[in-house]
Structure 1
């Protein structure tokens, strides 16, 4: 009689514990499958995005618009205007050519002003690069503003130290007035003297969604296997 009570209690609790573990396992299976399907959907979206950007990169340039949004990123555009070389801004950069600066110069067109990333200069060429005068054509890619600063480093407008191409902040610091809410990455058209070097835009999209999806589906399968083992032990 003394031993029967605890044994009976364990037998009584076992179905409840099994039911709880099964419910948790099934919930995890459903969650893992949902996450896997979501990653597959993200993969389709990413592939469409890559195809869209590739088409833009190889399309003929269109007239630069006075405004642009995310849907216009990496669109090839052209514009003609006069550079305000006295208002250029140097933004710290690390490129395939080493550390240096992006040269951002306002281009005053017939209808609006837009910041142009004319390209890269190493530190020793910061004061010696080409500064064209008079109307010039510019062809390049639309890029969205990069507000606040770079990784772990904030822009310091008062000290004229810039770590990101923050259009609004640069326009305010350089007293440019109204400017287009984006900047243009100039293409590889050579500048006299070789600097700045344009056309260094890095267009790369990480696409690991398939591996993530397989991971989630794998976890779902492992959870099902664990549930099967649990039920087999219960039957034994």
Structure 2
């Protein structure tokens, strides 16, 4: 091998090592995401496996109450309904209806996600079309507010949050919801999965329980590790061929 080929061999091996290192890093990133997903699934199984409790008995720590099964009974304020949009269902545009439930002995309302309703523009519905009983008994699981769209500041609701005039909520921001309904809102939402009334045209499609799925992280990780192997083997083969010339 001539000395002129030495830099090309070194460059080939260097590029192969860099590509392999990047692929290995991405592979471990996918395995870390898989581990996080498995931990999430374990928490979900544990919470959904516990008996239902009245929503008023949930702990103050929202992380502890997340995904707990709950029941609630109270008067519904349909005049303060919120549309959480856009929400797709089986490829169709729509919204989810969040209705304040008045809890006895407090001025704080709990928002109940009563489910999905079809909406051609994916942001508005005729509210009266989806009214149920004035008082409801609901059951479901707990979701928590987690998105900050900047609703705490400013004279008007930021466009990112929604629109107070049309009662549109784009992000699950508790402060934005409070500005739309005009009441203090509890730190929990109830994702209603069942109810005490027969389903009819006036009843939204109830929320389904979270899906237990590990996703495609393992497959992606194996792909990245495979790419790293190809880069190393291919780099060594090319370097060897270059040296033999």
Instruction: Report the TM-score when normalising by structure 2.
Output: 0.72
* Change in 2 beyond 3 A, CA 1:28/1:100: closer
Q: CA deviation at 1:81?
A: 3.1
From 68, 76, 101, the equivalent of 1:83 is 76
Q: CA deviation at 1:189?
A: 1.4
Q: Aligned pairs, how many? A: 222
Q: Corresponding residue for 2:143? A: 143
Q: Corresponding residue for 1:38? A: 29
2:225 matches 1:217: yes
SS at match of 1:191: coil
Q: Describe how 1:120-159 pairs up with structure 2 within 5 A.
A: 120-122=116-118, 126-134=127-135, 136-145=136-145, 148=149, 155-159=162-166
Q: Which has more radius of gyration? A: 1
Q: CA deviation at 1:208?
A: 0.8
CA RMSD of aligned residues (A): 3.3
Q: Corresponding residue for 1:6? A: none
Mapped partners of 1:97, 1:169: distance in 2:
27
Whether the aligned pair in 2 keeps the contact of 1:188 and 1:198 (CA below 8 Å) is no
* Change in 2 beyond 3 A, CA 1:138/1:221: same
Q: CA deviation at 1:209?
A: 0.8
Of the structure 1 ranges 179-188 and 60-69, higher mean CA displacement relative to structure 2 is found in: 60-69
Instruction: Report the TM-score when normalising by structure 1.
Output: 0.75
Q: Describe how 1:104-183 pairs up with structure 2 within 5 A.
A: 104-109=98-103, 110-111=105-106, 112-122=108-118, 126-134=127-135, 136-145=136-145, 148=149, 155-176=162-183, 178-183=184-189
Deviation digits for residues 16-42 of structure 1, max 9, x if unmatched? 332233233223323322322332232
Whether the aligned pair in 2 keeps the contact of 1:190 and 1:198 (CA below 8 Å) is no
Q: Which blocks of at least 5 consecutive residues in structure 1 are unaligned?
A: 1-9
Whether the aligned pair in 2 keeps the contact of 1:89 and 1:104 (CA below 8 Å) is yes
SS at match of 1:182: strand
